[in-house]
């Protein structure tokens, strides 16, 4: 491992440029690094993600690629030694190693390591609320540790939703999850019990008390997990073989209504606005905020994108192609209205971004989706005549942004190449 100072710099990059909301209580964690109390496996897994954005490590190893490869190799060498040691730091390390492998394009190994992290989390009962029960006189450190464990579980659940598809079922079913959602950052860092917690829809505590789902006081981290859960539902449905050939069904209408209700219930500060991006950036949580608003737009887009061929056919044949009379036009209008709003989010966020700042690989995906649908609209203006004049500019801008971002992550490079070839 590098020196403690270099590790702390890399961990700061990790907490500011990758997971701004996560399971690391920054102050106490950095002190533990200084005292050599954090496992090497966990530190190596953090460095797998952040080394490519950490100047001192890039300088030490000669390039972003060499720095990343150095820590990926070292982390993988630790896996056989830690595989049967079930503890919180090993769960965190395997989870982060899986995320790094996914960003590097190694989906199979990523899935295996995520699966081991999931099984360890289940063995430690991190999905159960009783695991986090503390005595009335619990110390600040005990409260912080319990919250760290809770956040570890929810990050696993949340990231697995982000990577969802037909062949990737959820690690934990909702009926088995009694754990409530994370508290706000201030409570976490100071080790203070929150006055209330939100719940994930369809889990037992949410069914017992529905007001826990849409509390206007829920923190951004809770909203982020809820939004990623909705994305997982949409993604698994959209990737189901033959689902798009069925035409609109009650399932489609129900999912559209669920997304609409969720967005309407959001606290004002969690809804999309340029002002909110600026405020969250000043607070150091703009990537987490963007992960909420972009995933909400992506969910709405993907729900309708799966019917794009039906929409195109209804335009070319003047028939309704599996939908009720006049059904496809408003679906198309909603689809491209959401694409334009997603483009606005991309434009604002990357205009504000410093070129040297790090970013998670998954953040490139919305740009790919936006660009590919802008290409469809440019090729077929009848899809949404009202917005067709914006298509060319959106496509060109998305191509530029995705090209600028694709160097750090092989997975992002694949999206960039796909969009470039299609255009």
Split at pLDDT 50, 70, 90, the class of 240 is: low
In this predicted structure, the answer to whether residue 239 has a pLDDT above a threshold of 60 is no
pLDDT of residue 391: 95
Cβ count within 10 A of residue 115: 14
In this predicted structure, the answer to whether residue 324 has a pLDDT above a threshold of 80 is no
Whether the Cβ atoms of residue 223 and residue 60 lie closer than 8 Å to each other: no
d(Cα 403, Cα 410) in Å, to the nearest integer?
Answer: 12
- Mean pLDDT, range 398-409, rounded to an integer: 84
In this predicted structure, the answer to whether residue 50 has a pLDDT above a threshold of 80 is yes
pLDDT of residue 199: 98
Greatest mean pLDDT range, 13-22, 101-110, 221-230, 234-243: 221-230
What is the percent of the chain with per-residue pLDDT over 90, rounded to a whole number? Answer: 71
In this predicted structure, the answer to whether residue 248 has a pLDDT above a threshold of 60 is no
- Mean pLDDT, range 66-93, rounded to an integer: 96
| pLDDT tens by residue, 196-234 | 999 999 999 999 999 999 999 999 999 999 999 999 888
d(Cα 350, Cα 173) in Å, to the nearest integer?
Answer: 36
- Mean pLDDT, range 155-181, rounded to an integer: 83
pLDDT of residue 32: 94
| pLDDT tens by residue, 350-386 | 888 887 788 888 888 899 999 999 999 999 999 999 9
pLDDT of residue 75: 97
Please report the beta strands in 199-299, taking only residues with DSSP state E, as ranges in sequence order: none
Q: The dihedral of CA 208, 213, 219, 223: what is its sign?
A: positive
pLDDT of residue 297: 97
Q: What are phi and psi of 182, to 5 degrees?
A: -60, 160
Q: Which residues contact 88 (CB under 8 A, 6 or more apart)?
A: 124, 148, 149, 152
d(Cα 290, Cα 344) in Å, to the nearest integer?
Answer: 12
- Mean pLDDT, range 409-418, rounded to an integer: 83
d(Cα 423, Cα 383) in Å, to the nearest integer?
Answer: 18
Whether the Cβ atoms of residue 123 and residue 85 lie closer than 8 Å to each other: no
Q: Which of the residue ranges 193-202, 235-244, 253-262, 269-278 would you say has the lowest mean pLDDT?
A: 235-244
Q: What are phi and psi of 165, to 5 degrees?
A: -165, -175
- Mean pLDDT, range 268-282, rounded to an integer: 96
Number of H helices, E strands in the chain: 19, 0
Which two tokens mark 125? 């009962």
pLDDT of residue 76: 97
Q: Which of the residue ranges 210-224, 234-248, 298-312 would you say has the lowest mean pLDDT?
A: 234-248
When the pLDDT of each residue in the chain is averaged and rounded to a whole number, the result is 90
Q: The dihedral of CA 21, 25, 27, 32: what is its sign?
A: negative
360 or 271, greater pLDDT: 271
Q: Which of the residue ranges 16-30, 280-294, 310-324, 360-374 would you say has the lowest mean pLDDT?
A: 310-324
Whether the Cβ atoms of residue 21 and residue 185 lie closer than 8 Å to each other: yes
Give the angle subtended at the CA of 355 by the CAs of 336 and 107, to the nearest 5°.
65
In this predicted structure, the answer to whether residue 238 has a pLDDT above a threshold of 60 is yes
Q: Which residues contact 378 (CB under 8 A, 6 or more apart)?
A: 388, 391, 392, 395
In this predicted structure, the answer to whether residue 423 has a pLDDT above a threshold of 80 is no
| pLDDT tens by residue, 103-115 | 888 889 999 999 9
In this predicted structure, the answer to whether residue 81 has a pLDDT above a threshold of 90 is yes
pLDDT of residue 310: 83
- Mean pLDDT, range 76-88, rounded to an integer: 96
Greatest mean pLDDT range, 47-56, 313-322, 395-404: 47-56
In the block, residue with structure tokens 């994305």: 231
């Amino acid at each position: 491992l590098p020196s403690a100072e270099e590790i702390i710099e890399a961990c700061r990059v990790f907490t500011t440029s990758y997971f701004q909301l996560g399971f690391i209580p920054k102050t106490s964690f950095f002190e533990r690094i200084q005292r050599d109390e954090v496992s090497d496996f966990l530190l190596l897994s953090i460095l797998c993600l952040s080394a490519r954005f950490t100047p001192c490590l890039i300088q030490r190893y000669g390039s972003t690629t060499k720095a990343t490869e150095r820590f990926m190799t070292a982390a993988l060498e630790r896996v056989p030694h830690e595989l049967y040691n079930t503890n919180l730091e090993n769960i965190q390390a395997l989870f982060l190693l899986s995320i790094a492998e996914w960003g590097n394009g190694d989906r199979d190994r990523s899935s295996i390591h995520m699966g081991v992290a999931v099984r360890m989390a289940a063995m430690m009962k991190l999905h159960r609320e009783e695991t986090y029960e503390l005595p009335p006189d619990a110390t600040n450190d005990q409260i912080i540790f319990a919250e760290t464990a809770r956040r570890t579980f929810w990050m696993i659940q949340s990231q697995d939703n982000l990577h969802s598809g037909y062949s990737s079922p959820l690690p934990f079913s909702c009926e088995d999850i009694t754990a409530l959602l994370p508290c706000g950052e201030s409570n976490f860092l100071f080790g203070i019990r929150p006055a209330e917690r939100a719940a994930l829809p369809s889990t037992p505590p949410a069914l017992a008390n529905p007001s826990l789902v849409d509390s206007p006081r829920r923190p951004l981290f809770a909203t982020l997990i809820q939004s990623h859960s909705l994305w997982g539902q949409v993604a698994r449905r959209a990737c189901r073989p033959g689902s798009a050939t069925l035409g609109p069904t009650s399932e489609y209408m129900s999912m559209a209504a669920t997304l609409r209700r969720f967005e309407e219930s959001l606290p004002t500060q969690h809804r999309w606005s340029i002002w909110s991006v600026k405020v969250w950036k000043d607070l150091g949580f703009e990537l987490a905020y963007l992960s909420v608003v972009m995933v909400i737009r992506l969910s709405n887009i993907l729900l309708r994108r799966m019917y794009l061929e039906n929409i195109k056919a209804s335009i070319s044949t003047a028939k309704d192609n599996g939908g009720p009379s006049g059904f496809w036009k408003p679906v198309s209008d909603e689809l491209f209205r959401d694409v334009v709003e997603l483009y606005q989010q991309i434009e604002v966020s990357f205009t504000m971004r410093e070129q040297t700042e790090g970013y998670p690989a998954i953040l490139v995906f919305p740009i790919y989706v936006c660009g590919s649908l802008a290409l469809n609209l440019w090729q077929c203006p009848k899809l949404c005549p009202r917005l067709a004049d914006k298509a060319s500019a959106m496509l060109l801008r998305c191509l530029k942004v995705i090209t600028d971002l694709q160097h750090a992550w092989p997975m992002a490079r694949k999206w960039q190449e796909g969009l470039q070839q299609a255009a």
